[in-house]
Structure 1
């Protein structure tokens, strides 16, 4: 099994409890939750801001955009423009799926004793 490495501190992420996947400019990267908080504080412009993909907000966004994409793609709402909106709305769903299969699926849900594991944060 391949290790998931934090994009900020370059240490191993041991479980899903520590993991935050975030996107910026069509990239999805894994972070420790503490490293992600540091990055949020350092971001001084909108272009340097990483947006979380997993977690409650990522799941809600993906679900709502998935419903919007299905509605726009499979009905005649707004004709051709609706199809374009549907394709664009499918992007957060695709991001969430890539995040899950590329990073989250590789990690256990929770490790009881994190102090004994290598790569302490």
Structure 2
């Protein structure tokens, strides 16, 4: 299995504790914990920032968005507007699943 390479320093990520998967629009990238801090420092505006997907905050956000998406997509709450909000909420869940399947699953604990 190929090692996961940090996008900032180019070195392999050896443990899951070191891994931070981050998202910026439709891109999901792996970083070392220390390298991600450097990437955050280099971000100058809110539109340039990378959002971490793993860790407690990312997992809680994905769980809340999954519940919201299921509720709005499966019920008739707010009609078409509720369905659109449900689709937008499912975006965060899909990013989290993508990060898990592409990166976290391949890095040993």
Q: Give the shorter-chain TM-score range.
A: over 0.9
Structure 1 residue ranges (4+ consecutive) displaced by more than 2 angstroms after TM superposition: none
Partner of 2:106: 106
Bigger Rg, which one: 1
Aligned residues: 109
Q: Secondary structure at the match of 1:23?
A: strand
Gaps of 5+ in 1: 110-121
Superposed CA RMSD in Å reads 0.7
Find the counterpart in structure 1 of residue 63 from structure 2: 63
Unaligned runs of 5+ in 2: none
For normalisation by structure 2, the TM-score amounts to 0.97
| Higher helix proportion (structure 1 or 2) | 2
Distance in 2 separating the partners of 1:67 and 1:25: 22
Distance in 2 between residues matched to 1:8 and 1:25, nearest whole Å: 18
TM-score, normalised on structure 1?
0.88
